[in-house]
Structure 1
C-alpha cells in the first residue's frame, strides 16, 4: 500500500513539474547586418558577405541548431507574414549571396538547418518621431539636454564603428547581447527622450511610451504564437528591442532567457 501511495505521489509530482517547466527563449539582439541608414545613429556597415563572416554564420547557426528552437521569431511585419513565407521558400543559395539581412543570414539559415517550415514575423512598425523630439527640446530651450543627446549619439556611433573595424561577427553579436550594451540602448529613452519638452509638452514621454507599446505588442505576438508544444524559441531583433523585451520575459513566469553567450560558447 505504501508503495502505491509513493508511486502516486511521484506521478503527481512529475505532472506538476511538467506543467511548471518554463519555456526557454534565446533572445538575440543584433545590429542590422544591412544597415539602411534609417536609424538616428549612423553606423558603419559590416562586411557580412566576407568569407570569414560567412564561415562564422555557419558556425553560429550550427550552434543555435544544437540549442534547437521550435520556432524562430524575426523583425518582419506581422501583417506581411504571407510575404515572409514566400521569401522563406525562395532559393536559399541565391538568398545567402544576395541578401545581407540578419533575417536571411542568421535566422533563415538556422531555420533551414532545423527543417522549419517557416519563420514568424512579429514586427509592428510605428513611426519614430525623432524630429518632433528635437523640436520639443528646442522649444523648451533645453540646451544641456540637446548637447547631451548629441554627445550620447556620437559616443554610440564611435563605439560601434571602432568595434566593427576590429571585431569578428561573433564578437559583435556577443557584445550587443551584453548587459552593458542593452543598458546603453535602454538608457537613452529614460535619460534623454523622456525629459524632452516643456512641463506641459509630453512629446518626449509620448515617444518613449510608443516605443514601449510597440515592443509590448511585439511581445504579445510572441506569447500568442508560442504554442504549448514549443519548448524552446528564438527571437532575433534589433538590440534596441531586445533590451526592452528582456524585461518583459524576466517578469513572465512562462519563460526563461537563455543567453546567447552560453549557446555560442
Structure 2
C-alpha cells in the first residue's frame, strides 16, 4: 500500500473539545455507488450483497455510540428536498436498505436512479439517522469541478507541462486505486473504515496539491485557482453544517469522502465554535 511521507510534514492532531464547543465527528468513507468522480477511485463491490449488508449493520452498531444530534452527508445542499424524501422512505419502512430502489436525483453526476441506493449516504448516513430516530438528514455539499475552467483549457491548448523542481516522494494514483480496491475486497466494511480514518490514509488526497500547484504560467494561475475552489467547497460544507445547528446542538456526525477529512479537520479547528473529532474510538480494530 503506497503511503505518503506523513512523518516529513507537520503532524496533524485532533484537538480536544471544550465544553462550549459543538463536536463534529468526521467519518471518512468511500463512495459505495462507484460514481468515478475522484482523482483515485475505488472499485467498490456491491454493498447490497448479504455479507456487505451484515457488515454495514455491524458498522452502524459501532457508530451508534456517537449519538449525534443530526447526521450531515456529502450531498448537495440544493438537493435537500430529494435527500429528505428518500430518507423518509427508508425510515418509515417504504424502502429496504438491502434492495435497490430508484431514488430521486440526490447527486448531479449520478444518472442511474437505482444505483443511488448503494451510496454511502443511504447505506451509512440514512441507516444511522434511522437508528437514532432522527427526523432529518442534512446534505451540506456544494460540488465543484476542479478540472473545469477556461484557464486550465488554455494551459492544455498551449501544451503546458509542469516541471517539478525537487525529486520528492509522490503517490502513484493508479497504484493507489489498485491497492485500495484490493484492500476493500479483502476487508470487512468496518475494518476498511478503520483503515480509511487512520492518519496515513487521510493524506491519500495530498497528490492534488502536487498536481495543481505546479499548473500555471505568466498571469494564468489555473492550478492554484482550482485548489481555491477545493477549499471553497470544503468551507461551504462547514458553513452549511453551521446553518443546521441550533442552540441545543452538542454533536454532529458528518459522513464524507475520506479525501475531505484532512482539510475539514483543519477548517473545523479554526472555527472556534466547532471542534473536529476522530471516529477511530468508535471503529474497533479487528483481531
Q: TM-score range by the shorter chain?
A: 0.7 to 0.9
Whether the 8 Å CA contact 1:65–1:110 is kept in 2: the answer is yes
How many positions carry a matched residue from both structures?
Answer: 244
Whether the 8 Å CA contact 1:139–1:197 is kept in 2: the answer is no
**More helix per residue:** 1
Q: Shift of the alpha carbon at 1:182?
A: 1.4
Provide the residue aligned with 2:12 in structure 1. Answer: none
Provide the residue aligned with 2:103 in structure 1. Answer: none
Whether the 8 Å CA contact 1:70–1:232 is kept in 2: the answer is yes
Q: Shift of the alpha carbon at 1:232?
A: 1.0
For 1:30-179, list aligned pairs within 5 A.
Answer: 30-91=29-90, 92=93, 93-98=95-100, 99-129=117-147, 133=152, 136=155, 139-142=159-162, 152-179=172-199
1:264 aligns with 2:266: no
Specify every segment of 5 or more residues in structure 2 that has no aligned partner in the other structure, as ranges. 1-17, 101-116
Q: Shift of the alpha carbon at 1:203?
A: 0.9
Question: C-alpha offsets along residues 117-166 of structure 1, whole Å, 9 cap, x if unaligned?
Answer: 01001011222316975873673333669xx9x96321321221221222
Whether the 8 Å CA contact 2:75–2:141 is kept in 1: the answer is yes
Whether the 8 Å CA contact 2:140–2:237 is kept in 1: the answer is yes
Which of 273, 278, 281 is matched with 1:254 structurally? 273
**CA gap 1:257/1:42 in 2 versus in 1, 3 angstroms:** closer
3-state DSSP class of the match of 2:44? coil
For 1:229-244, list aligned pairs within 5 A.
Answer: 229-244=248-263
Specify every segment of 5 or more residues in structure 1 that has no aligned partner in the other structure, as ranges. 1-18
Provide the residue aligned with 2:22 in structure 1. Answer: 23
Whether the 8 Å CA contact 2:68–2:252 is kept in 1: the answer is yes
Whether the 8 Å CA contact 1:111–1:118 is kept in 2: the answer is yes
3-state DSSP class of the match of 1:155? helix
**CA gap 1:213/1:126 in 2 versus in 1, 3 angstroms:** same
Q: Shift of the alpha carbon at 1:256?
A: 2.5
What is the aligned-residue RMSD (CA, Å)? 2.6
The TM-score, its normalising length taken from structure 2, stands at: 0.76
Question: C-alpha offsets along residues 48-88 of structure 1, whole Å, 9 cap, x if unaligned?
Answer: 12322212211221232222011100012111211111111
The structure with the larger Rg is 1
